[in-house]
Structure 1
């Protein structure tokens, strides 16, 4: 079934479907976002195959900060060999494991790939669970200045010794606005904001307003969700599958290869290193909750529930143009 977020309400309501199959504009970007384990890759591939059935090209462009790394395919839940064979993917497994990488660098690469697909008459399908990377792919992301490794190391030591809550209080004392934007559990953004402040930079929203009003191309934002119990069960299955597929060995190999600081921030990296799968499941559930919070702030967004529905049906509904009402 097709759903929409209703403005001013916490409920999700069905949207009437039509039998019309809309022509897909090759200049329009389809951007899929949703929590870990919701099934984004499956929907993306179904979209590519549905487009191909109508003589059109769809190309999947990754917007996941960890799936970009070569050597983290298992840990990050990157598309499998079978999935890669069914649809063209770009910006997946393309960054060396020992390389530091930022959203700004990713944005430049994503813009180039999106533009190439559109120039060739195709439809870019941007897929990811990293909100900042999705924004970087779709907009001209305001770039923050780099900070020194010494500052980063000092703050990470504080995080390990004092805890995230102490650092979040520190952030609130320096910028109430930043503290409201950044969840105490979002260690990466918390450390980044404090590093910028320590080196004398602003952490205010430089552009202001909704970033979705500044997208580079006509874009449909597609949000994918499941009922919480089903999503959490899928997260548990995913963690077990990562472990059974050699996730711990992949982490060990990454460390042996000199994994960069940003690569080591992959969800589950530390837990796989220590063998604590229950902690990994808990961390993944917390991350999924933050992703859903971020999704709830997207405007406008078309929301699709994947519970008890075939992904081919979802893809057909999206391409038919039965748009959900805006959030």
Structure 2
């Protein structure tokens, strides 16, 4: 397949959005392992297997105006539209965010976070497949170690894509991942689980659109049928892989700790916090990201 640079596509956000906020988020998001995220302000470079065909592609995303971006695609002719759709989802631009600020008007704690992180929307893994692989790699090891292993797998078994003058390692497509035999710093059980995730992706069990079409409870149940995917991992795949905007991560302890801190509810249970989060509907996933971003920034300031 010959990759070419296509005529840029323009994506418009419904509701607040700032690409620079996305780039700042990726700077501190360990799983992204993005050495270029802190480079050119208002610019993101992405490389990934295109969901469905799994051919490798790249995208150069530039801030056009506040609320819109320009996407230059590096891919084969038949992949260009699919790449733009995938970038739209990765940046959460496929969700109507017009009502997002209303959650902050109802809840002053949320409102203060929205004011501190204006225009920030979830930046997703490239696909639910890649998110699922991350959960397997990262289970029971430090995030920084998992990020190095994930990057090493991409460099050795993925494909290099030149995007805006930089060569990025695209994560292996499912067939290539199934062929991995080297340990790559992982125990054999994790290698086997990665192969199972790759098979599931090839069978269409990890398609973002399909996962979001299910009721969240059903989607989570289906994901937990995959080897190595428990409740926490299933929520991460649905929220940060498929991009479901309205799931409260009731297994995410760091989020719960930050909620207890900011709401001054030190004894609140997960059920109590889920009840608080009901006021964030239909953007519970988005608001949860604000709490997690605030927690990471606060802990960094204290260290």
Q: TM-score, with normalisation over the residues of structure 1? A: 0.23
RCO greater where, 1 or 2, for CA within 8 Å and sep 6 or more?
1
TM-score by length of 2: 0.24
Q: Which has the larger radius of gyration?
A: 1
